[in-house]
Amino acid sequence: MAQLGVNVDHVATVRQARGTSEPDPVTAAALAELGGADSITVHLREDRRHIQDRDVRVLRQTLKTRLNLEMANTREMLEFALQVRPDSVCLVPERRQELTTEGGLDVLHQELELQPTVNRLQAEGIVVSLFVDPDPAQIEAARRTGAAAIEIHTGTYCDAPTALRAQSELAKIAAGVQLGRELGLIVNAGHGLNYRNVTPVVALGGIEEFNIGHSIIARALLVGMERAVREMAELVRR
Ligand code: PXP
């Protein structure tokens, strides 16, 4: 059975919009665990646009499940990860101007830079996964870095403009999962998955963990809205 990792970055996005202390992604993570999350993911970005260093440190102390830290392959992030010691690290490409991670790592052209980071983290018992497109050459390169895992980028499948394109992207994911497993890698998947498009990917089998953020946070906002307004209306009308 596949596991679910919940990404709470966008709880922090709402907090940062006001520069206050709520909503706290640490509280959201605890509730996600109560709801059945198998792990919690946060992306500490170079520009600190949502998750802050404090969030990762407090999550490390409070989580009952696993902490998966998404980060770019930089010296600053490596030192931070070695200090905080998440259970796993997912290395992702990062561009300041992007709204969200736009695709997988170009492992083929960054093997030499990635390998020392993978080795250093895994020597400390931190499982490393590389976020890659479902491209056989990238998956093979990921294997050569010594990383224990890959996370297959599902964004192109999720954003496919037609059902036909979605089918062909799904076939690429299926082939990527198969290749990753043949190479002995742990295969995870994520990006852009929501309540409508996740089922065909789950049905492929062979994916150990799905990392899902935006759609869960967006839904939580809506399914919780009614109660939040009712409680405030009671206070106002008292
Ligand atoms: N996996 C990776 C590597 C990501 O960068 C992200 C987005 O932060 C996710 C999964 C989750 O994507 P989404 O928020 O679209 O579910």
Distance CA 208, CA 142 (A): 17
Ligand 1 lining (C-beta closer than 6 Å): 7, 9, 43, 70, 90, 92, 100-101, 131, 151, 190-193, 211-215
Nearest ligand 1 atom to alpha carbon 214: 14
Nearest ligand 1 atom to alpha carbon 192: 15
Residue of the CA atom closest to atom 7 of ligand 1: 191
Q: What is the pLDDT of residue 95?
A: 78
| pTM score, whole prediction | 0.95
Question: Of 132, 227, 144, 232, whose CA–CA distance to 176 is shortest?
Answer: 132
Give tens-digit pLDDT for 147-168.
999 999 999 999 999 999 999 9
Position 102 pLDDT exceeds 80 = no
The pLDDT confidence band at residue 5, using thresholds 50, 70 and 90, is very high
What positions carry a catalytic annotation? Answer: 43, 70, 191
The pLDDT confidence band at residue 237, using thresholds 50, 70 and 90, is very high
Distance CA 76, CA 45 (A): 11
Contacts of residue 19, Cβ cutoff 8 Å, sequence gap at least 6: none
Return the structure tokens found at 144.
């050569």
